[in-house]
Amino acid sequence: MLYLSEIQRSKVVDMAGTEIGRLTDVAVVPKEQFPAVQWAIVSSKDGERIVRWADLERNDSQYRLRESAVPPAPGELPPEALRLGRDLLDKQIVDTHGAKVVRVNDLQLDDKGGQLRLVGADVGLRGLLRRVGGEGAAEKMAGVIGRKLPRGIIPWHLVEPLEATQQNVRLTLPHAKLALLHPADIADIVEEMTTDERRAVFDQLDVETAADTLEEIEPEMQAAIVGDLDEERAADILEEMDPDEAVDLLQDLPEQKRDELVELMEEEEGSDVEELLAYPEDSAGGIMTTDFLAFARDLTAGQAIERLRELKPDPALVYYLYVVDSEGRLEGNVSLRDLVVAAPETPLTTIMNTNVFKVDAATNKEDVASLIAKYDLLALPVVDARRRLIGSVTVDDVVDLMLPRGWKKRSGRSSAR
Q: Which of residues 144-173 bind another protein (CB under 8 A)?
A: 165, 168, 170
- Residue of 255, 267, 345, 376 that binds another protein (CB under 8 A): 255
3-state secondary structure 303-370: HHHHHHHHHCCCHHHHHCEEEECCCCEEEEEECHHHHHHCCCCCEHHHHCECCCCCEECCCEHHHHHH
- Between CA 29 and CA 36 the distance in angstroms is 7
Residue from 43, 204, 251, 303 touching another protein (CB under 8 A): that is: 251
At its nearest, how many Å lie between another protein and the CB of residue 131?
A: 4
Residues 188-217 that bind another protein (CB under 8 A): 191, 193-198
Q: How far apart are CA 238 and CA 265, in angstroms?
A: 8
Minimum CB separation of residue 404 from another protein in Å reads 7
**Which residues ranging from 373 to 402 are in contact with another protein (CB under 8 A)?**
384-385, 388-391
Q: Which of 35, 120, 161, 286 binds another protein (CB under 8 A)?
A: 286
Partners of residue 117 on adjacent β-strands: 36, 110
For another protein, the binding residues in 318-337 under the rule CB under 8 A are 324, 326-328
Of the two residues 110 and 228, which places its CB atom closer to another protein in the complex? 228
Q: Are strands 92-95 and 82-83 parallel, antiparallel or unpaired?
A: unpaired
CA distance 388 to 72: 79
> Residues binding another protein: what is the number (CB under 8 A)?
74
Report the amino acid identity of residue 160. E
Interaction between residue 67 and another protein (CB under 8 A):
no
**Straight-line distance from the first to the last Cα atom of the chain, in angstroms, rounded to the nearest whole number:** 31
Residue list 297-316, contact with another protein (CB under 8 A): 307, 311, 313-314
Please state, in angstroms and rounded to a whole number, the distance separating the CA atoms of residues 86 and 212: 34
Smallest distance from another protein to CB 98, Å = 10
Q: How many CB atoms lie within 10 A of CB 267?
A: 7
For residue 72, how many C-alpha atoms fall within 13 Å in the half-sphere facing its CB? 28
Which residues are bridge partners to 330 per DSSP? 324
**Binding residue for another protein, selected from 69, 153, 221, 373, defined by CB under 8 A:** 221
- Positions in 20-49 near another protein (CB under 8 A): none
Encoded one letter per residue, x for contact with another protein by CB under 8 A and - for no contact, window 109-128 reads --------------x----x
Cα–Cα dist 392/244, whole Å:
10
Least separation in angstroms between CB 402 and another protein? 15
Minimum CB distance to another protein smaller for 60 or for 310: 310
Q: Tell me the residue type at 29.
A: V
Residues 79-98 that bind another protein (CB under 8 A): 89-92
Task: Write down the least CB distance from residue 325 to another protein, Å.
Answer: 8
